Amino acid sequence: GNSVTQMEGPVTLSEEAFLTINCTYTATGYPSLFWYVQYPGEGLQLLLKATKADDKGSNKGFEATYRKETTSFHLEKGSVQVSDSAVYFCALRPEKLVFGKGTKLTVNP
Partner 1 sequence: GAGVSQSPSNKVTEKGKDVELRCDPISGHTALYWYRQRLGQGLEFLIYFQGNSAPDKSGLPSDRFSAERTGESVSTLTIQRTQQEDSAVYLCASSLVPGAYEQYFGPGTRLTVT
The answer to whether the beta carbons of residues 41 and 35 sit under 8 Å apart is no
Residue 90 pairs in a beta bridge with 35
29 binds partner 1, rule: CB under 8 A: no
77 binds partner 1, rule: CB under 8 A: no
Rank residues 52 and 79 by Cβ distance to partner 1 and give the closer one.
Answer: 52
42 binds partner 1, rule: CB under 8 A: yes
Nearest Cα residue to 27 out of 59, 45, 53: 53
Applying CB under 8 A, which of residues 28, 40, 95, 109 lies at the interface with partner 1?
A: 95
96 binds partner 1, rule: CB under 8 A: yes
| 8-state DSSP, 67 | B
